[in-house]
Amino acid sequence: MKKNNNNSVLGVMVNSRAVHAVLLQDGPEGLLMVRRLARQRTSRFAAEPSMAAGTMPGLEADNAADDFTLQIGDSGGGGGEMFLSSEFGGLSGGFGEAEHEANPADAAFTLELDDLLAECRDAGYADPTVAFCLDTTDVAHVELRVPVMKAGKPGANGASKDKPRGNGPVERAELLTLLASQFQGEVDQERTAFLPMTAAEDGTARFLALVPQPNDPVTTTLRQLREQQGTFPTVRLLDTEVPLYLGLTRVALRPGEEEEAEVLPEGNTLIVRSGPEDTLVMFLRGDTLQYCECLRSLTSYEAPETICSRVLLLQDEYGIGEVQHVRLLSYEKEKDLIESFRMFFPDAEVATLREGLERLGAGGSGEPDDGARVPAVAAALRLIDDGRYQDLFEDVNLLPKKLVRRPLRMPFSWKNLLVGALALLIVAFFAYQYLGVQREIDQVNDELRKYPPILAHEEPQALQARIDSLQGIVNRYVHALDVLDTLLLGSDQWSRALETTSREVSSVAGLWIEDWDPKTNYIRITGNATARDRVVQFASRTDANIESLSFSEIREWPVYSFVMSIPLAVELPEAAHYLRAKATEARQAEAAAAAAAEDAPVQN
């Protein structure tokens, strides 16, 4: 039977080496990580047998040794270039030449995605909602600075009349115009997103433009699936790493429910994600993005000290002050990287980016190889209907609208309305019948749960034989108890009478017993006392009858001689009472079991 997968979301993280996926289920008890999936991607260069090792597309084999140029001095550029422009210069420009010339079909991962969806179907989740996340290598990050003056309509002489912008919001059309003037690559206005950044020192508004590659792996794969006219997944989101890490950091820095603060703490926050392709570095001021850089030549295979030193160099270049919070994520040696950053940032709080997922109840296994699954889980969380953290993630969706599967719309007419009404009535009738049968099944199951599991699977004849056998044993026990009662009745009355008499004599001072004469139902005792009230006190304590009382003096001391009879209590011993109570409980339990076995349904 298939599970209810209305609230299941499949988060997929795509990079050049593998496809990592996480299947989340939003249930009444919270988030549940159902599956952690991964598939290796086949390299697009593996199918080129004529391509030598180290040779890239577009390069001749005899020029493979001359694939780089080392230039020292200012012969190639002016002093206005960015420091380490070879490291960061690609962030504000277009995509590489090889990416434009490569065949778009090579970037697809159709087979891997079909395999992941098939595994979800085998697990009982036939159609989960899919949220994708792109790697930074497939998205260009361009910083935009909005001019202080806003261009107005041209005047009579043809010159435009600029006017101050003010503090109002920046329109998306203006940001797209700025991006077109600064970005050399192809821009799809529908898929471009803008993240607000902290203002510059002169008050200029800044934004980070996220421009996906025209033929990125996700859109290429989805287009191929649509062309195949087969089962198309329910895709709702395409995000990228920068806004997802920004949201996870906001979740981690958000005050807990027990804290009185309602806003995120101020200060500088450093986010470092070290992967096999590059290292992403983000600086935050409060909860707003301040700077973002992708270090292409720095990967997770580098020494942690090397990564720390490069981050410190970047911090000095941007003039970032003291850092209060550090959030890290690495595909390799994450623990070593955390220790290194704690040494380089001794006054900062250093933790992993998984802390944000743990606060949302989707922490995962925390294993070192789970680094690529963190953005996959974060992308899936954006589709979970939970208002606790939706406002902490940026509203970014790089997915083309035509690739979002929409429900089939039928033309409105009275015929369609009639068919829909009939279908609704039929569904309601069968749903009512189904619920009625299910309710009866639940009632029977509730009755069966009251009995031991062994009774629910035995034959009625075997159960009746067991009941008869147990009933016979109970009857023998009851008969034996009756015989035992007759033997025990009165067996200990003399010992109890002697115990009672001795206890009461010791309680009354100045009284002693001289003779003990047991009779059938009473004991006649003879004794002396130093005072008459002692005799009366002893008789009242033992409920005895005083038969005679005489006075005499012995050596000038008064002595009262008495004869009294003490009745004997004829009752069952404590052992007999205990055995009788146990026998009664056993009879009641067997009677209840017999009645339940007779009322239980017969199973074929």
Helices 304-318, 334-344: inter-axial angle, 10-degree rounding: 40
For residue 575, what are the contacts with CB-CB under 8 A and spacing of at least 6?
488
pLDDT score of 240: 94
Q: What string of DSSP letters covers 66-84?
A: GS-----SSSSS-TTSPTT
Distance, CA of 399 to CA of 406 (rounded, Å): 14
pLDDT along the chain (604 residues), means of 10: 61 90 83 86 50 37 39 38 45 46 67 91 88 92 83 54 63 90 88 92 89 90 82 88 91 64 70 92 92 90 92 92 92 90 92 79 56 87 74 88 63 75 92 92 84 67 84 85 66 75 86 86 89 89 89 86 85 70 81 72 50
Please name which of 218, 213, 206, 248 lies closest in space to residue 394, comparing C-alpha atoms. Answer: 248
Distance, CA of 354 to CA of 365 (rounded, Å): 10
DSSP state of 312: H
Helix (H, G, I), strand (E, B) or coil at 263: coil
**Position 285: which residue type?**
R
Chain-centroid distance of CA 355 in Å reads: 13
Give the global pTM.
0.58
Question: Angle at CA 19, nearest 5°, toward 14 and 25?
Answer: 95
Helix (H, G, I), strand (E, B) or coil at 264: coil
pLDDT score of 73: 38
What are residue 551's DSSP bridge partners?
560
pLDDT score of 168: 64
pLDDT score of 491: 59
Q: What string of DSSP letters covers 138-173?
A: GEEEEEEE--SEEP--B-TTS-B--EE--SSPPPHH
- Residue 349 has which token pair? 């709080």
Distance, CA of 353 to CA of 347 (rounded, Å): 18
